[in-house]
Amino acid sequence: MTTDRAMRDTDRMERPAPPAPEPLPRPVLDSHVHLDIVGSDGAGASPEAQVEAARAVGVDRLVQVGIDVESSRWGITVAEKNPAVVATVALHPNDGPRLADLDAALAEISAMAEHERCRGIGETGLDFFRTTGPAELAAQERSFRAHIAIAKRVGKPLVIHDRDAHADVLRVLDDEGAPETVVLHCFSGDADFAAECVRRGYVLSFAGTVTFKNAVGLREAARLTPLTQLLVETDAPFLTPTPHRGAPNASYLIPLTMRALAEVKEVPLADLCDAISATGDRVFGPWP
């Protein structure tokens, strides 16, 4: 997630929803979406409407991502009701420094992490874009380390938010010892950082940003990422892919990013769908 609820781009939410793209030849997942804050101008306000719009274009599985106690609890509830959805739970890096009782919130996340429909711990990590001082940095890092411990305790993948913090994310993971599965959500690094993450066995998830005209370095990172370590996501309602950049995003727009990735990887679209689908099941599955 690129921002929190207090920083939503309401202008984007009010723009018309893009039309549905051509369906994918094989089913694939959206590995990172915020169904609770996708605008009603997108695939519809209800999770059920968003799931159906996605399914119509070949996106048959969604990972609903938590950013605080409330959204984490909400995601599990939705996943219990909808077999196409699984959830992750976490405190977003920007939220940790603002909490009056970080330990209490972490305890709630830890308890929810044991739920069967919770399939990942995240999005957690470090965000230096809006960090204002050492106290915030310390709170973010403490929260990140706690999430790593939770992921290792419950044996579930760690979903990382990394904004302007590449080296420090790796430092903390090295200090704590990374969980068996680590996903770099909305990968934003260059080819060198991608190569380091690939070497460590991490999974890189690419969002609509890979379609942006100026994202040359990001496409280079995607090009060198093995298919077995590649995921695709929307981060909806943010990061809408070209040609609809600036409009509200939703899971049904995944085919646009998939086609861009297939071109970058120089592989048939159907083969890319199969590879990413298999990685999604390995990381988060099985879906019922």
Q: Is 127 helix (H, G, I), strand (E, B) or coil?
A: strand
User: What torsion do the CA atoms of 130, 134, 137, 138 make, to the nearest 10 degrees?
Assistant: -160
Contact 232, 257 (CB under 8 A): yes
| 238-266: average pLDDT | 97
pLDDT at 76 over 60: yes
Q: Tell which wins on pLDDT, 152 or 12.
A: 152
User: What torsion do the CA atoms of 125, 42, 75, 183 make, to the nearest 10 degrees?
Assistant: -30
Q: What is the pLDDT of residue 64?
A: 98
Residues annotated within the binding site for a divalent metal cation are 32, 34, 123, 161, 185, 235
* pLDDT band with cut points at 50, 70 and 90 for residue 8: very low
Q: What is the pLDDT of residue 44?
A: 54
| 165-177: average pLDDT | 97
Cβ contacts of 95 within 8 Å, gap of 6 or more = 4, 67, 68
Q: What percent of the chain has pLDDT over 70?
A: 92
Tokens representing 247 are 């409009």
Distances (CA, A) of 69 to 72, 109, 285: 5, 6, 23
Q: Tell which wins on pLDDT, 14 or 177.
A: 177
* pLDDT band with cut points at 50, 70 and 90 for residue 1: low
Q: What are 10-45's pLDDT values in tens digits?
A: 445 567 889 999 999 999 999 999 999 985 444 457
Domain covering 25-65+204-286 in this structure, CATH number: 3.20.20.140
| 129-149: average pLDDT | 91
Q: What is the pLDDT of residue 186?
A: 98
pLDDT at 132 over 90: no
Residues annotated within the binding site are 32, 34, 123, 161, 185, 235
Q: What are 85-123's pLDDT values in tens digits?
A: 999 999 999 998 899 999 999 999 999 999 999 999 999
Q: What is the pLDDT of residue 10?
A: 45
* DSSP letter for each residue of 152-221: HHHT--EEEEEES-HHHHHHHHHHH---S-EEETT----HHHHHHHHHTT-EEEE-GGGGSTT-HHHHHH
Burial class (CB in 10 A: 0-12, 13-18, 19+), 116: exposed
pLDDT at 3 over 70: no
Q: What is the pLDDT of residue 15?
A: 75
Residue 78 identity: V
pTM metric for this prediction: 0.94
Strands in 41-193 per DSSP E: 59-64, 85-89, 118-127, 158-163, 182-184
pLDDT at 133 over 50: yes
Residue 161 identity: H
pLDDT at 218 over 50: yes
Strands in 73-115 per DSSP E: 85-89
pLDDT at 5 over 60: no
pLDDT at 4 over 60: no
Average pLDDT, the chain: 93
